[in-house]
Amino acid sequence: MTDRVYNFAAGPAVLPIPVLEEAQRDLLSLPGVGISVLEMSHRSPAIEDMMRAAEADIRTLAGIPDNYRILFLQGGASLQFSMVPMNLLGPGQSAGHIVTGHFARMALQEARSVGNINLAGSTEDDGFNRIPGQSELELDPDAAYLHFTTNNTIFGTEWQEEPDSGDVPLVADASSNIFSKPIDINRYGLVYAGAQKNLGAAGVTLVIIRDDLLERSPDTLPAMLNYQTHAKGNSAYNTPPVFAVYILGLVVKWLIAQGGLEAAQRRNREKAGLLYDAIDSSEYFRGHALPGHRSAMNVTFRLPDEDAEQRFVDEAAAQGLAELKGHRSVGGIRASIYNAFPVEGVEVLASFMKEFERTNG
Amino acid sequence: MTDRVYNFAAGPAVLPIPVLEEAQRDLLSLPGVGISVLEMSHRSPAIEDMMRAAEADIRTLAGIPDNYRILFLQGGASLQFSMVPMNLLGPGQSAGHIVTGHFARMALQEARSVGNINLAGSTEDDGFNRIPGQSELELDPDAAYLHFTTNNTIFGTEWQEEPDSGDVPLVADASSNIFSKPIDINRYGLVYAGAQKNLGAAGVTLVIIRDDLLERSPDTLPAMLNYQTHAKGNSAYNTPPVFAVYILGLVVKWLIAQGGLEAAQRRNREKAGLLYDAIDSSEYFRGHALPGHRSAMNVTFRLPDEDAEQRFVDEAAAQGLAELKGHRSVGGIRASIYNAFPVEGVEVLASFMKEFERTNG
């Protein structure tokens, strides 16, 4: 254990140590089964039970009622960028997309290669340093859905509450803040999230879809791109990514054991607060996101110049604070502190920031 | 270790114990990195190196030259059923499919929802107990490609050599026998395989594609469904299934250490021979596949009646021979003995068969 570093990576990202320890303990042979999870048939009772338990635990953790289906898919959020319009956009219909960052822009671009998509709002002109206000949105009451990105990993901004889409179903890419705080699922028609930030390892995508939206999928879609296929097959129409679902299930159990989503929100606010305090009490560090729009998951900031930023990243890494370099598209520093990131690591980073400013500022 | 059973599952399937042991040892922290592979960014040097090494080892193991790209994708063979025609079938073109089993039929069905596909051959009328002969095939010299399924998991048949498609590119679903014997890749335009039988755990799909076929992908495809996207992005256009690629890399290294594909073929022939001998020397067991068409990966056979088959499966499981029940669509017994299945387990099964026949025959 002592050789582990603090991993500030934006995703894939840090996992809870108890999850890793359980996976390690059982890696050669699941107790009572005599086969590794990596080797187990998705049709075996043990794996069917495991997948049902993961689904039930997600319903418990996030309060997901029976009129929503929970699917474990492959291809990441990137494949959802295409699957959402393929499944939800009827002939002649259009949908709205709000663009608040890099992945929101990718989602718009991919959706436009499928159908008619309107830009319902964007903060690109402000360098994506904020979330648009409700009054800035251009909403079409006849839209098939309204798509937004709940947290912007690269820019470090986060919706503090959902946009009001009226009767238009809300569709969210929640990859970078899912289950980091309570969610009122009834406000959503569909939520999707790659697992590798807050939910587990790369290789599985969680999709939560309301029953009425599930009925929109056209029969002409390829089976693997049709939500109905996966709903009818209980996410085992074809071989699911068994091990990635298993890890996701362990993470969800861990979140429940840690007190659920309200407790997660308290911990995440405390962690983010330590870093934003370090930024706000300094003349040396400049936060990218505007206060009131800041992400509790990804804290982004700049130093006076790129040389100082590179030194900061290098010296931090030498002290066991890894993966702090900002995304190549914006530069600077990014500290990703998802659910599983320990508060101790954040405290070490905050101290490191003060010391770095003292010697370099 | 002593609690492990012999796992005859058809996929996901048994993995080499040294692979599981290495994955277990490093599960909390990859040596020199201090982060679990489950938590590591796909943009980190360690993971980029790991993916490059997996690709290089595949080239070494199977003799894949530079004019073929090696891709690590998601969605299994099932998504390839759609991606192949989406990418390779030009406007106005048609392709041929040979149907030799359940998954070959699925591939045909999915391809037909994309474009114009001709049935180039089928052994469905014979209960898929054999592979069609070259003279039975109806080949179109202008076809965009000819698709076949190299091994039929459910029926236990295997192509002993590739069909001759002339100048038409050969496309193969090799999920259930890839790297179980030498492959002359120059005979193929594209080979794909879900990893969970011979290559690793579920969650990654290997695609080997010749450069000239890569140029066929239309720009209008969704990015995630376009082979060019993944080729240009070195399989990291979006977050790849890092852990599944890591396990695949360990399996390929293990295959190389075991002597490569010719040695694998010798071991696989020896293992299958033990079971086919047990069938052929018995009046009690009846093999499904015709001699000359038999699979070295999946040995399928029947007992006199379904009650006896159920007893066989139950008594075998009680002796640590797990997952011997045949696929629900054909019944009977299926022993899947992929690359990683140990010869000792096959010997135990052959003895069990003899003893079962003695007491029940």
Domain boundaries, position A343: 260-360
Q: What is the rounded distance in angstroms from the CA atom of residue A198 to the CA atom of residue A248?
A: 9
Among B205, B222, B257, where does a domain finish?
B257
Beta bridge pairs of residue B322:
B7
Q: What is the pLDDT of residues B152-177, one digit of tens each?
A: 999 999 999 999 999 999 999 999 99
Among B210, B239, B257, where does a domain finish?
B257
Of B24, B34, B247, the CB nearest to A28: B24
Return phi, psi of residue B179, to 5°: 55, 25
Nearest-Cα distance to chain B for A23, in Å, is 8
Angle value at C-alpha A71, between A23 and A154, nearest 5 degrees: 75
Interface contact A220-B113, CB threshold 8 A: yes
Q: What is the pLDDT of residues A314-323, one digit of tens each?
A: 999 999 999 9
Cβ proximity of B101 and B300 under 8 Å: no
Torsion (CA) B248, B254, B255, B259 in degrees, nearest 10: 160
ipTM: 0.97
Q: What is the pLDDT of residues A87-111, one digit of tens each?
A: 999 999 999 999 999 999 999 999 9
Q: Is the pLDDT of residue A334 over 60?
A: yes
Nearest-Cα distance to chain A for B39, in Å, is 5
- Same domain for A224 and A287, yes or no, is no
β-pairing verdict for B333-336 and B321-322: unpaired
Task: Give A142's pLDDT tier (boundaries 50, 70, 90).
Answer: very high
Task: Give A2's pLDDT tier (boundaries 50, 70, 90).
Answer: low
- Same domain for A206 and A292, yes or no, is no
- Same domain for A52 and A128, yes or no, is yes
Site from A243, A298, A325, A337 to mutate, B interface, most B CB atoms within 10 angstroms? A243
Asked whether residue A13 is domain-assigned, the answer is no
- Same domain for B187 and B276, yes or no, is no
Q: What is the pLDDT of residues A241-273, one digit of tens each?
A: 999 999 999 999 999 999 999 999 999 999 999
pTM score: 0.97
- Same domain for A70 and A172, yes or no, is yes
Asked whether residue B107 is domain-assigned, the answer is yes
Q: Helices (H), strands (E): how many in chain A?
A: 10, 14
- Same domain for A274 and A324, yes or no, is yes
- Same domain for B56 and B156, yes or no, is yes
Nearest-Cα distance to chain A for B43, in Å, is 9
Asked whether residue A162 is domain-assigned, the answer is yes
Asked whether residue A174 is domain-assigned, the answer is yes
- Same domain for B219 and B324, yes or no, is no
Nearest-Cα distance to chain A for B134, in Å, is 31
Interface contact A41-B12, CB threshold 8 A: yes
Interface contact A243-B114, CB threshold 8 A: no
List of chain B residues whose C-beta atoms are within 8 Å of the C-beta of residue A225: 82
Interface contact B39-A238, CB threshold 8 A: no
- DSSP H stretches of helix in chain A: 17-25, 45-62, 76-88, 102-112, 211-214, 227-232, 242-257, 260-280, 306-318, 343-360
| Token pair recorded at residue A7 | 């991993």
Interface contact A223-B34, CB threshold 8 A: no
| Token pair recorded at residue B225 | 């469904």
List of chain A residues whose C-beta atoms are within 8 Å of the C-beta of residue B82: 222-225
- Same domain for B270 and B180, yes or no, is no
Torsion (CA) A327, A330, A336, A338 in degrees, nearest 10: -90
Q: What is the rounded distance in angstroms from the CA atom of residue A188 to the CA atom of residue A210?
A: 8
Interface contact A240-B202, CB threshold 8 A: yes
What pLDDT score was predicted for residue B2?
53
- Look at residues A117, A145, A115 and name the one whose alpha carbon lies nearest to residue A210: A145
Among A222, A257, A292, where does a domain finish?
A257
Nearest-Cα distance to chain B for A283, in Å, is 31
List of chain A residues whose C-beta atoms are within 8 Å of the C-beta of residue B238: 75-78
Interface contact B41-A9, CB threshold 8 A: yes
Encode chain B (361 residues) as per-residue pLDDT tens digits. Answer: 458 999 999 999 999 999 999 999 999 999 989 999 999 999 999 999 999 999 999 999 999 999 999 999 999 999 999 999 999 999 999 999 999 999 999 999 999 999 999 999 999 999 999 999 999 999 999 999 999 999 999 999 999 999 999 999 999 999 999 999 999 999 999 999 999 999 999 999 999 999 999 999 999 999 999 999 999 999 999 999 999 999 999 999 999 999 999 999 999 999 999 999 999 999 999 999 999 999 999 999 999 999 999 999 999 999 999 999 999 878 999 999 999 999 999 999 999 999 999 999 8
- Same domain for A281 and A175, yes or no, is no
Q: What is the pLDDT of residues B246-279, one digit of tens each?
A: 999 999 999 999 999 999 999 999 999 999 999 9
Of B21, B27, B241, the CB nearest to A20: B27
The secondary structure element, H or E, covering residue B193 is: strand B190-194
Preceding peptide of B163 cis, ω within 30°: no
- Same domain for A84 and A152, yes or no, is yes
What pLDDT score was predicted for residue A46?
94
Beta bridge pairs of residue A213:
none
Asked whether residue A5 is domain-assigned, the answer is no
Q: What is the CATH number of the domain that holds B288?
A: 3.90.1150.10
Interface contact B202-A36, CB threshold 8 A: no
**Residue B254, C-beta contacts closer than 8 angstroms, at least 6 positions apart:** B16, B18, B19, B340
How many A-B residue pairs are in contact by the CB < 8 A criterion?
218
Of A41, A82, A237, the CB nearest to B222: A82
Return phi, psi of residue B24, to 5°: -65, -45
List of chain B residues whose C-beta atoms are within 8 Å of the C-beta of residue A7: 34-35, 39
Asked whether residue B99 is domain-assigned, the answer is yes
Asked whether residue A212 is domain-assigned, the answer is yes
Q: What is the CATH number of the domain that holds A249?
A: 3.40.640.10
Of B3, B34, B44, the CB nearest to A3: B34
- Same domain for A285 and A166, yes or no, is no
**Residue B73, C-beta contacts closer than 8 angstroms, at least 6 positions apart:** B79, B80, B204, B205, B206, B207, B230, B235
The burial class, CB within 10 Å (0-12 / 13-18 / 19+), for A31 is exposed
List of chain A residues whose C-beta atoms are within 8 Å of the C-beta of residue B17: 28
Asked whether residue B311 is domain-assigned, the answer is yes
Q: Is the pLDDT of residue A1 over 70?
A: no
Structural domain count, chain B: 2
